[in-house]
Each structure stands twice: as C-alpha cells, then as structure tokens.
Amino acid sequence: MTHSHRAHNGIDEQVEVGGSARTALLVALGLAAVATVVGLVVWWPSGDATEVESAQFAAEGVTFPVGEVREVGEPCPLQEAPPEGCGLISVEVDDRTVDVQVPPEVFAAGLAPGDSVELQKIPEAEGGEAAYSYFATDRDGTLLWLLVVFLTVVLVIARWRGLFALIGLAFGAAVVWRFLLPALLDGSSGVGVALTGASAIMFVVLYMTHGVSLRTSTALAGTLVGIAITALLGVVAVADARLTGISDDSGGLLRAYGGGLDFPSLLGCALVIAGLGVLNDVTITQASAVWELRAASPDASRWEIYSGAMRIGRDHIASTIYTIVFAYAGTALLVLMLLSIYDRSIIDLRSTEQLAEEIVRTLVTSVGLVLAVPITTALGVLVAAPRPAPLDPAPADSAAVG
C-alpha cells in the first residue's frame, strides 16, 4: 500500500512513497542516529589521560615575530659546498634589521623584497642579543584572497544551497578537530571513532545542504552503508597487508610522542575519512536520479526506474574513480617521484609501505564508492514507489439491479 509524500517543495511533491519502505528507512536512520550519539558519548575525549605526551612546540620564551624582507642575497647551490655568505636575507623586524639564513628551496620559490616572513626569535641571554632564524614564509595574504574567491564563487553560483554547504563544511571541520583527532590521541578505536565522526558529519551536512526529505534520507542511508563497507574492507585490507600506518616523517614523529597509539587502526580511520566526500557525492546524485525518473514516469515499474538510474550511476562511477585515483596521485606525487628514480620499476616497489598504503587507500575507498551506487539506487526505488493503479469503476447498470 502506498500514499503520497508531500515535501515542502521541488520534485518530492510529485513522487509517490511506499509506506512500509518509508517506515523501514526512517527506523534504520533513527537507529543509526542513536548509535552515533552513543559513539560520541563513549569516545568523547576526556582530556585527562592521553596516549600521546604533550609536546611543546618551542622552548619557553621563544616567539615567532613577522618581519618584512628588505634584501635578498644569493642562494646557496644545492650540489656544491656553499660559499660563505650565501643564502642570507635581510629582514626588518622588531624595529631592527637582521640577517637570517634561508634554505635554498625557499629562494627557489621566489622570495623577494617586500615579502613577509615569520622568524623564530630566541630571547637574549645575559649581556647578549636575541637570535633570529627563518621559520616560514608568511602566506596569510594568499590564503585570504583564495578564501574570498572560494566563498564568492560558492555563494554566487550555489546561493542558499552553497551557504548551507559552507555551514556543513564548518561543522565537519569542527567534528574532526574537536572530536575525531582528540579521541584518536586518547587511544580510542580508530575505526569506531571514524564511523561515529563520519556519521555525525553526514547527518548534519546532508540534511542541512539538501533539505529534510525522503530523498535526502535515502542518500544518507546509502552513504552510511558505504561508510560501513569502506571501514570493514579497510580493516581487513590493512591487517592482511600488514601495513604499519607509518609511511612518512609525520607518522614517525607521532610515534615518538605517542608510542601507545594503534597506527594500523589510525590508517583504517584515514580510509573512512578519505572517501567521505566522494561517497556523499555519488549517493545524493543517485537518490536525485531516482526521484527525477520517478516523477517523470510515475507508472514505470521499479525495475525500469532502477535500470535508468543505474545508467546514470555507471557514468558517475567511471568519472569518480578517475577523481579518486588522480587525487591520491596528486597528494602522493613526491613519493611517486622518489620511487620512480630508484633502480627498480614501480611494479617492483608496489609492496613498499608508501606505495602499498596509497594502493590500499585507493582500492578500498573505490570499492565502497562503487557499491554505494546500486545500494542507494535500490533504496531509492523501494521508497519512490510506482503510482497505484486506479480502481475499476463500478458497472453503470449495477445500481439498477433489484
């Protein structure tokens, strides 16, 4: 038995909704929401005990003033013994001009007079002067205009939907920074924290960005199933490949401060978070495809709607797989370049920690993504039901009988 579901606006008003399917969907999402809240309560970081020692960024009294470059000297050659006096820049800071040594790669990036740099200032000892050294190039100006361009483009083109997406993005960042990272540092289960944080983000982001409707609920259900598949496959793959979860200097430094952390579990968490954005993209597309096709063909069978939506989904899968692979290739470009100059082929080096981790990351998230498409489509087809056949009218002469 079906009845009409009336959304506030849009295509949802034209789609018939199966009552039992709607109930099952909402109950499942309710249980997922409860599980998410329980996970937040159980794994919420206490701040008292942590598996990682507190690390002070710099010695007490050290500050990081920003100064303006006044003069740029000659860079030091990379392959030769550097001549005396090379690699120096003059910086005006704290009402004085100081000369500081700068790495060759900073010169190669185009450092010029007028640029701002952040220096590390070590306070003076008794009878001495403060010592300055180069710490970083001040990039706040570039980051600011890029942020303004990004916000302007999103708001002008996507309008209110874009604004809600930005609010959802800010919420997601807050969950990662305030819950996920501290919980991981507390030694909580990496996969459990990832599932909880990802679910919390998706509940808020999807409903805030796309509105509260059964169409959005279908996309949310497909996303949660895809997240669960990714997490399960990630745990199995990381364990089976014997991945350590430490493939770069950042992992080594974190291990030095937090030897008690479960790094393979952290890698499983990273797999879930890495595929979250693309997974959300394909599920909302598939749910919308089902609703559009059902609105256009209210009398079509469920199989006809499923087949049509899957044709859209297959095209989306193909393009998204390229997106995932090239995105990971871009982030791991320097690692790939380093491996390519070894006296062995990339194929021979496939089992190294750096390359195997990227391969596992790509394949695991891709499997979760691909399976989310037919799952979301099937859920949408069950909810967006065909229009009921009209009842046969009573015979015209039946009233005259008797």
Q: What is the pLDDT of residue 170?
A: 93
> Per-residue pLDDT tens for 223-260?
999 999 999 999 999 999 888 888 777 777 777 776 67
CA atoms of 349 and 300, how far apart (whole Å): 52
Is 61:214 a contact under the CB 8 Å cutoff? no
> What is the structure's pLDDT at 4?
38
For residues 75 and 86, what is the distance between their CA atoms, to the nearest angstrom?
6
pLDDT for position 220:
95
CB atoms near residue 34 (< 10 Å): 10
What residues does each domain of the chain span?
2-51+149-383, 66-122
CB 212 within 8 A of CB 203: no
pLDDT at 389: 62
Residues 6+ apart with CB under 8 A from 397: none
Q: What is the pLDDT of residue 222?
A: 95
Q: How far is CA 339 from CA 103, 324, 334, 358, 368, in A?
A: 24, 21, 9, 13, 28
Residues in Cβ contact with 380 at an 8 Å cutoff, skipping those fewer than 6 apart: 215, 218, 222, 286, 287, 289, 290, 291, 309
DSSP-derived secondary structure letter, 180: I
Question: For position 54, what pLDDT does the model report?
Answer: 56
* The length of the chain, given as a count of residues: 402
Taking phi over 0 as left and psi of -120 to 50 as alpha, with beta for the rest, 110 belongs to: left
Return the number of other C-beta atoms located less than 10 Å from residue 271's C-beta: 27
Please give the pLDDT value at position 295: 86
- pLDDT tens digits, 190-200: 899 999 999 99
CA distance 307 to 312: 9
Q: What DSSP line would sit under 37-98, residue for residue? A: HHHHHHH---SS--SS----SS-TT-B--EEEEEEE-PPPPSSSPPPTTTTEEEEEETTEEE
pLDDT of residue 154: 94
How many other C-beta atoms lie within 10 A of the C-beta of residue 313? 24
* Weakly modelled stretches of the chain, pLDDT under 50: 1-9, 396-402
Euclidean distance between CA atoms 354 and 107, whole angstroms:
29
Of 2, 8, 3, 10, residue with least CA distance to 295: 10
Task: Give the integer Cα–Cα distance in Å for 377 and 105.
Answer: 50
Residues 6+ apart with CB under 8 A from 13: 6, 7
Contact present, 368 and 320 (Cβ < 8 Å): no
Query: Per residue in 92-151, pLDDT tens?
Result: 988 889 999 888 888 888 888 999 999 998 887 655 678 888 999 999 999 999 999 999
DSSP-H helix ranges across 300-395: 302-331, 333-340, 353-383
Q: Please give the pLDDT value at position 104.
A: 84
3-class secondary structure, 117:
strand
Residue 250, judged by CB atoms within 10 A of its CB (0-12, 13-18, 19+), counts as exposed
